[in-house]
Amino acid sequence: MEICTVGGYEEVGKNMTAIKVGDDVFLFDAGLYLPPVIELQADDNFQEYTEKNLREVGALPDDLTLDKLGWRDKVRAIFLSHAHLDHVAALPYLIHRYPNVPILATPFTMGVVDYLFEDAKVELKNKKILMQPNSSYKIKGRSGEYTVEFVHATHSTLQCAFIALHTKEGVVFYALDFKLDKHPVMGEPANYSRFKELSKKGVKVLIVDALYSGTDRRCPSERIARDLVEDALSTVRDKNSALFITTFSSHIARLKSIVEFGKLTKRKIFFIGRSLNKYVTCAQQIKMCPFSRDIQLIKYKNQVDGLLKKVEHNRGDYMIVCTGHQAEPGSILDRIVSDKTPFKFKAGDNIIFSSSVIPVPININARDMMDKKLRKKGVRIQADVHVSGHGSREDLRDLVDLLKPKIIIPAHGSLQQETTMVELAGELGYKFHETVFLSANGKLLKL
Amino acid sequence: MEICTVGGYEEVGKNMTAIKVGDDVFLFDAGLYLPPVIELQADDNFQEYTEKNLREVGALPDDLTLDKLGWRDKVRAIFLSHAHLDHVAALPYLIHRYPNVPILATPFTMGVVDYLFEDAKVELKNKKILMQPNSSYKIKGRSGEYTVEFVHATHSTLQCAFIALHTKEGVVFYALDFKLDKHPVMGEPANYSRFKELSKKGVKVLIVDALYSGTDRRCPSERIARDLVEDALSTVRDKNSALFITTFSSHIARLKSIVEFGKLTKRKIFFIGRSLNKYVTCAQQIKMCPFSRDIQLIKYKNQVDGLLKKVEHNRGDYMIVCTGHQAEPGSILDRIVSDKTPFKFKAGDNIIFSSSVIPVPININARDMMDKKLRKKGVRIQADVHVSGHGSREDLRDLVDLLKPKIIIPAHGSLQQETTMVELAGELGYKFHETVFLSANGKLLKL
Amino acid sequence: MEICTVGGYEEVGKNMTAIKVGDDVFLFDAGLYLPPVIELQADDNFQEYTEKNLREVGALPDDLTLDKLGWRDKVRAIFLSHAHLDHVAALPYLIHRYPNVPILATPFTMGVVDYLFEDAKVELKNKKILMQPNSSYKIKGRSGEYTVEFVHATHSTLQCAFIALHTKEGVVFYALDFKLDKHPVMGEPANYSRFKELSKKGVKVLIVDALYSGTDRRCPSERIARDLVEDALSTVRDKNSALFITTFSSHIARLKSIVEFGKLTKRKIFFIGRSLNKYVTCAQQIKMCPFSRDIQLIKYKNQVDGLLKKVEHNRGDYMIVCTGHQAEPGSILDRIVSDKTPFKFKAGDNIIFSSSVIPVPININARDMMDKKLRKKGVRIQADVHVSGHGSREDLRDLVDLLKPKIIIPAHGSLQQETTMVELAGELGYKFHETVFLSANGKLLKL
Amino acid sequence: MEICTVGGYEEVGKNMTAIKVGDDVFLFDAGLYLPPVIELQADDNFQEYTEKNLREVGALPDDLTLDKLGWRDKVRAIFLSHAHLDHVAALPYLIHRYPNVPILATPFTMGVVDYLFEDAKVELKNKKILMQPNSSYKIKGRSGEYTVEFVHATHSTLQCAFIALHTKEGVVFYALDFKLDKHPVMGEPANYSRFKELSKKGVKVLIVDALYSGTDRRCPSERIARDLVEDALSTVRDKNSALFITTFSSHIARLKSIVEFGKLTKRKIFFIGRSLNKYVTCAQQIKMCPFSRDIQLIKYKNQVDGLLKKVEHNRGDYMIVCTGHQAEPGSILDRIVSDKTPFKFKAGDNIIFSSSVIPVPININARDMMDKKLRKKGVRIQADVHVSGHGSREDLRDLVDLLKPKIIIPAHGSLQQETTMVELAGELGYKFHETVFLSANGKLLKL
């Protein structure tokens, strides 16, 4: 078996991994690296995203490597683990290189993918195979038959999957973006019993999310976030003040908690922004949006301003859910805080950040500037009403304990972030360069 | 009205505040500053604690200031807010200076005080007045009659109180060590309606815990800690491995959660250590120890070693709750990890820290060394299974909003920690040096 | 004596202090607070700076306080300590409120002030009194005669002064922005013997730069920076690569070191940017620009692009000194790095930052983004080729030791930064709220 | 060629690298990892260091690996790069495994090695070959003849060497513990011209000190430290106060600066402590101790106390140079500060730390506690009067530029610290896993 760690092994983004067994290659994920995308967008000469400009700034996984290896024509399937942009959003720009290769994803993920193609004005002609969580699918290759299994995972959006590829050389287990949540707010905990079965069958290699492998704890459950949301909303006592709450658009479970406790404030609940509209609509399509009747979705810019005008005059009547928690320039929240909409924050108004600041200078700075403005206006800020969707050291230890893979390949972070997974593997008996590897983007590993 | 901010205004510790109205003085708290106590103990020549050596190292609030002000003879009562050492443990060394002055405290606090006197081998002759939470008491002074009210507060031990002193010049509201917890694990949320009534009556001055006034959020509820404890214990799957959990001895609600979910592991639960024994016994005395039947208390050193021998041989039969979460040298956990007891940690054993590392070099270093040893042995560490008992910026904002005091005096921290409360007060319309003050130990404020 | 700490007591910026003795008021400095100025400039609707918009965003010291106190008409003189914008740049917007009040400054400072008025298109009609370093001047007031002395100080621009105001109640010593440099690169060390004489005469109050009072060392001498510059330039070995160096425009001594060692590279040296032109021209006017013949000043934008075109084609022939060390958007360096000029950085080119990143999110982020771009291009980055101009704890201890003031007022920082000076004063025997004060903007102190 | 990265590739310590060409193996360095040595020493049951207990705690490079590889009997020579303990101090415990293998080192390094064997009570029977800086030596092996060259390097002790091993497969260049200092205080800058000659000849592999590869600058020259020492000593004005200065015992150049400027204080200069005595004596033996006549060395404990008694009574007559800059428990400085010697610090006394705090919790804590005690006594502390001896990113970039090795192996740090060297190599055109490797302790690389 050979593994080409195409992208996402030196950064958080542009995830893509290729596995080759005999004459058959399988791709796992095809994501964007967002920071250069944002820089590109900020450039004065920017017009639209193209494969060319995205490649130039390093936003796409460098799958030209596959051509050099002679692997491109051998790709038999593309597996998408979940609906986040760093896992699926490169697809519209790369798919033309893989005609006739089927794409496998859960219905929610596929819904988001469809949106992304629509946005990119690219037609998706490849065969789409919908995988229900905990289902499997047989793929015929040149060198044999394979079974791919989408094992239910808990993370921070709907229908996330661990992907287990059964080959004659053993199981490849692809475990990016997960936590082992015992009490998820929507759906079931991860499929522990299946882990054990796979362990018995023999996991040859585990490709694993090392992002927080340096943090000595379990990642707290999403129900913790639910409680934090409840507390945050229950302290909004002033019935005449405005109430805004911002979170990740794709985090349907979080939105569920927000709506559930938001309803207790007796305010009308509006979701504003394109991104929220996109994810919520996808959730509705698969009938996993339990709060559909409790909210109104506003997606067009002119409607937004109309709504905000009403909020300005009847502040106590509304709860507004919006994007912009990282204070992204041009986000709806940024525009509001910068007084560019008909609504102006004033003393006693409320803003709840159901998110954490991503700890990189650009976000730290943007939020620092936004927070200063909010504070100057006397707005009540509740920040960090949030728990992460990425497992920490103890989640990772458990996964390794359960699967007992022969080989571990840390992924989803910088080399520095991945080294702590190497150290954890060392505690668990793995040897660096023998049974645990540190791979780079574009590197080929023969196992 | 005059206020002497005797101690605890430049550090976290040795809390004492004196209020003078006319010819009557009231003392709030009498705590120790623990770091110098620990250094004293580590000294080769140390024999026992005395008022003299504790004063020399700066461990006692410098109440000799009261003599200089001519206030000592005018002290009419001593109020104790709650049972933590930094609020009550100076009392055995100072009380001889205040004969015939009654001490007011809740039953749990008084129970702990009795223990402290016993430990210090000092007889407490002063009149003890037991204050139920949300009760009040009349005190006759030279310059009039006063009502002192012990308003129920939520913090991290039992029967904590905000202390409201009603004087002819208005209410003094003493609010150290609290958070506004909407979902405490034991007892009720703080008494919000009473806050509003007091606000209407007129709060002249609020003395307030500024420790985390720089943290932009609400302090999470204790129920969050409860959930974290549940998750941490539910991941102990190996039935043959040892299980230790360590937390604050005085945190009865946390211990309740630990026992509740510990029972699900079907292990026998033992509490070991003098300090746990002391606080749990006090909780039992006031019938606020719901887990009494589920645990066994081990307090004598020889019993401890006997028990640990059994744990060594039947690791899966026991859950041990102990002290030592800050890796204090000589603590039971320190002794175990250093292989000084019959029990030796080995790979797969579990340790849960239901606590956070206090962020000062001495604790960071001690825990770092302990964690390294544990990791070397392959122990599963779950740390930070904890939430704080001290309110953050939003708790503080709410308290000020509810009480609307004329004057704010930040307390319970270094000057640097108190300045962020000055800034918050500024946001809320208070003026530095006019309606919000930064006081130093021993400083006199005339209001 | 009364002191109104008008501005600069809660931030680094908008410095202004007013001293009143009897019926006479003296103003020390009139600076801008730059962060809101920059935000103002970034606003879409911004047209030009006015007193009104600068006041609104909090960029000016709030000298309206002086009207409330009835002090405005009593102002007898304005003293300017040195030429930095946070000390002088508010003057064009405020001076109309103080007609007929003389301005005292050293020749270099006055030169820069003239430039600022020119830029702001305001005519400066007030009497200008040029003060040579270590000279004094008599001022007749209503309540007596005063002597003001400009004592030579070492900092990071030319002709900086400690300002000693001799009054009948003792000496006021204003010591902002200094370090005690034993080996300055230009001029003499600070006037130690004068400190001792003043100490004997009796210093009533010391207003002192507390910015780095928390750093346990002396500030390194400027000669250290000179050596670092030498080393940095001596490692530029590739004769065909470009060489850029950026530093503070006003730091003439640093520029001297840069030119001195830059000459050894045999490259032509150009200074580009308006700000460099302004300060260097002022230095030339007072004949304190020893490197005038070794450089060429480029100030107009069209000349800049022409020069950069030449640099692009003959990279090894030039050393370019420019502004933009904080990666300020729109600065010449920012434009170059963003490929907006005819010169494009490529692998092997050199950039030397003779500066440190100011540790606030906005600068950290800007430099982080610039450094990433530079690194991507393969540019050799030498950063932190710099020492600060602000004294640390030991400089401050020495100044207090030498002057032995009765009272200390920390200034030039946030409240948090000033508290460490309070602590240092405590070590030296001063008492908080008695002989060392923490003041806020706009606060009145009666001494 | 094969390389076994025996030790020092996952920590700062226990450096050892083995190179095998044909049937000949060469060892580079044999150092201790100090943290476990210190823990061992602190253990109650500790009696003396043995190979057994040092191996158990992980203090020795695990050269048993060489047995497994069948390399032990093939070792033809041991090269020692310089006299620091993490490079040579394992030798007394390992040498019995390599009888008849010659040891090559510079005279100073060999002098220190002799001391270490004496301390360990082990006889060194192996042949000792003294290598002058910039000299070479021929070694006959089974598979051919080799030339080993000790190229002069600048670091922080005397006679440090880069070790270049010329083999038929190309040059191995071992470059641990160096900076490219253009102005060293003793001796010459590093041998740049030799680098270029070697580059022409062809460097196959560079093993390089990656410790500060993440710091974006050049390491400042030792002359910077010299100036800092001058400034620090020149501010000791009080002729009746005590003066202590502490630095690294092996740093002869630093000691030279200290003595040179110490003499200007007209105080008698004493060096106290075993370690200082050891290194200074070695420097004297090779006639590289220019300050021998200016100082007195005190090594026996009873003499130390006698001297400190005199200092106590005539504080202004002495300058004491001692060890203990990391506040190591039991060090002479620790004993003095803890009042365990006849000398007691008091207000106005001086302590200069010509060192930095090693940024690990144990040292941070120890120094924090020491500093608090010193501050409480009113001692003037000047800390960080120091520059490092380890090169930063720009030193490393230059070395790579000069040598142009085919392959780079980062060493001397944790995996995380080494990854930044991988990134730098990437900027310079190297490919991870192809031409730059991240190795682990005990790992075999085939090149």
Q: How far apart are CA C3 and CA C17, in angstroms?
A: 7
pLDDT at D39 over 90: no
Q: Is pLDDT above 80 for D237? A: no
Chains in contact with B, where contact requires at least 3 CB pairs less than 8 Å apart: A, C, D
Backbone angles phi, psi at B153, to 5 degrees: -125, 155
- Residue B300: pLDDT band by 50, 70, 90 thresholds? confident
Distance CA D111, CA D289 (A): 14
User: In this structure, how many other beta carbons lie within 10 angstroms of the beta carbon of residue D192?
Assistant: 14
pLDDT of residue B17: 98
Structure confidence by residue, pLDDT tens digits, C133-167: 999 999 999 999 999 999 999 999 999 999 999 99
Percent of chain A at pLDDT > 90 equals: 88
Cα separation, B46 vs B245, in Å, equals 31
As a whole number, mean pLDDT of residues B261-282 equals 95
Q: What is the mean pLDDT of residues C54-70?
A: 96
Residue matched to tokens 């040059």: D171
Identify the pLDDT of residue D330.
86
Distance CA D44, CA A268 (A): 69
pLDDT at C127 over 80: yes
Torsion of the alpha carbons at D299, D304, D310 and D314, rounded to the nearest 10: 70
Q: How far is CA C286 from the centre of its chain?
A: 18
CB contact under 8 A, B365 and D369: no
Mean pLDDT of all residues in C231-252: 93
Packing angle, helices C222-234 and C252-263, rounded to 10 = 30
C265 Cβ contact partners less than 8 Å away, ≥ 6 residues apart: C233, C236, C243, C319
Of A399-413, B9-23, C369-383, least confident by mean pLDDT is C369-383
Instruction: Identify the pLDDT of residue D359.
Output: 86
Model-level ipTM above the cut of 0.90? no
The predicted-structure confidence for C402-444, as pLDDT tens digits, reads as follows 999 999 999 999 998 999 999 999 989 999 989 999 998 999 9
Q: How many CB atoms lie within 10 A of CB A92?
A: 23
* Residue type present at position A294: D
DSSP-H helix ranges across C2-47: 34-42
Closest CA to C444 of C142, C9, C15, C137: C9
Spatial CA neighbour of C5 closest among C413, C405, C426:
C413
| Average pLDDT of span B83-108 | 98
Cα(B275)–Cα(C311) distance, rounded to whole angstroms?
74
**Distance separating alpha carbons of residues B272 and B310, to the nearest angstrom:** 14
* Chain B residues close to A403, C-beta within 8 Å: none
Dump pLDDT digits (tens) for A360-383: 888 999 999 999 999 888 899 999
CB atoms within 10 A of CB B237: 13
**What is the torsional sign of CA B83, B89, B90, B94?**
positive
Out of A393-397, C103-107, D43-47, D340-344, pick the least confident: D43-47
Do residue A443 and residue D432 have CB atoms under 8 angstroms apart? yes
Number of other CB atoms surrounding residue B313 within 10 Å: 9
Which residues 6+ apart lie within 8 Å of A364 measured at CB? Answer: A357, C361, C364, C365
Q: What pLDDT score was predicted for residue D360?
A: 86
3-state secondary structure of D262: helix
Share of chain A above pLDDT 70, in %: 100
The residue to which tokens 């995380």 are assigned: D416
pLDDT of residue A216: 82
pLDDT of residue D2: 97
> E-assigned strands of D16-134?
16-21, 24-28, 75-79, 103-105, 128-130
D176-201 pLDDT per residue, tens: 999 999 999 999 998 889 999 999 99
**Closest CB to B438 among C423, C431, C438:** C438
Please give, rounded to a whole number of angstroms, the shortest distance from the CA of B429 to a CA of chain D: 38
The β-bridge relationship of strands D160-167 and D170-175 is: antiparallel
pLDDT value of residue D220? 94
- Could you tell me what percent of chain C has a pLDDT over 70? 100
A235-247 pLDDT, tens per residue? 887 789 999 999 9
User: Which chains contact C through at least 3 pairs of Cβ atoms less than 8 Å apart?
Assistant: A, B, D
pLDDT tens digit string along D317-335? Answer: 999 999 999 999 889 999 9
Distance CA D437, CA D422 (A): 7
* Strand partners for D302: none
Q: Which amino acid is at A130?
A: L
Chains in contact with D, where contact means 3 or more Cβ–Cβ distances below 8 Å, are A, B, C
Residue identified by tokens 């630990």 is B258
A24 closest CA partner among A138, A104, A144, A203: A144
Q: How confident is the model over D52-61, as a mean pLDDT?
A: 96
| Interface size, chain B vs chain C, as Cβ–Cβ contacts under 8 Å | 30
pLDDT at B230 over 80: yes
Asked if B432 lies within 8 A of C440 by C-beta distance, the reply is yes
Cα distance from C185 to chain D (closest Cα, Å)? 13
Phi, psi of A365 (to 5 degrees): -65, -45
CA distances from C336 to A291, C83, C304, C328, C332 (A): 51, 28, 11, 12, 6
Per-residue pLDDT at B433 exceeds 90: no
- Which one, of D55, D56, D44, D48, lies nearest residue B340 by Cα? D44
Q: Which of B62, B415, B430 to mutate to test binding with chain C, by most C CBs within 10 Å of its CB? A: B415
Say yes or no for a CB contact (<8 Å) between B227 and A217: no
d(CA B220, CA A232): 9
**In A, what residues contact D, Cβ < 8 A?**
414-416, 419-420, 422-423, 431-433, 438-440, 443
Quick check: D44 pLDDT over 80? no
Task: Say if CB D210 and CB D423 are below 8 A apart.
Answer: no
Which residues of B sit within 8 Å Cβ distance of D? 361-362, 364-366, 368-369
Cα torsion through D43, D48, D51, D56, rounded to 10: -10
**CA B423 to CA B435: how far, in whole Å?**
12
pLDDT in tens, A301-321: 889 999 999 999 999 999 999
Phi, psi angles (nearest 5°) of residue D70? 70, 30
CA B12/CA B360 separation, integer angstroms: 12
Give C300's pLDDT tier (boundaries 50, 70, 90).
confident
Categorize the per-residue pLDDT at C97 as very low, low, confident or very high, splitting at 50, 70 and 90. Answer: very high
User: A6, A63 in Cβ contact below 8 A?
Assistant: yes
Segment D427-444, tens digit of pLDDT: 899 999 899 999 999 999
Asked whether the predicted pLDDT for residue D376 surpasses 80, the reply is yes
**CB-based contact A153:A389 (threshold 8 Å):** no
Interface of B with C (CB under 8 A): 414-416, 419-420, 422-423, 431-433, 438-440, 443
Probe site for chain A from B231, B349, B357 (most A CB atoms < 10 A): B231
Mean pLDDT rounded to a whole number for chain D: 95
D334 Cα to chain B: minimum distance (Å)? 13
Instruction: Report the residue of D257, D353, D379, D394 to disrupt the C interface, i.e. the one with the largest count of C CBs within 10 Å.
Output: D394
Instruction: Please compute, for residue D76, the number of CA atoms within 13 A of its CA located in the half-sphere on the CB side.
Output: 21
**Chain C residue at shortest CA distance from B426:** C440
**pLDDT tens-digit map of C306-356:** 999 999 999 999 999 999 999 998 899 999 999 999 999 999 999 999 999
pLDDT of residue C42: 79
Token representation of residue A55? 């490649």
Q: How high is the pLDDT of residue B121? A: 96
For residue C366, CA distances in Å to C42, C373, D163 come to 15, 11, 42
**Selection from A255, A324, A326 nearest residue A295 by Cα:** A255
Kindly state the average pLDDT of the residues B152-157: 97
Does the distance separating the beta carbons of D361 and B365 come in below 8 Å?
yes
Percent of chain B with pLDDT over 70: 100
Percent of chain B with pLDDT over 90: 87
- The one-letter amino acid code at B81 reads S
Roughly what angle, to the nearest 10 degrees, separates helices C274-285 and C252-263?
100
CB contact under 8 A, B416 and C414: no
Which of A32-41, A306-315, C46-55, D226-235 is the least confident region? Answer: A32-41
Start-end of H helices in A165-241: 192-201, 222-234
> Within 10 Å of residue D264's Cβ, how many Cβ atoms?
11
Q: Which amino acid is at A244?
A: F
Are D438 and A440 inside 8 Å of each other by CB?
no
Strands (DSSP E) contained in B154-277 are 160-167, 170-175, 203-209, 243-246, 268-272
Q: Is the predicted pLDDT of residue C44 greater than 80, yes or no?
A: no
The single-letter DSSP state of residue D182 is S
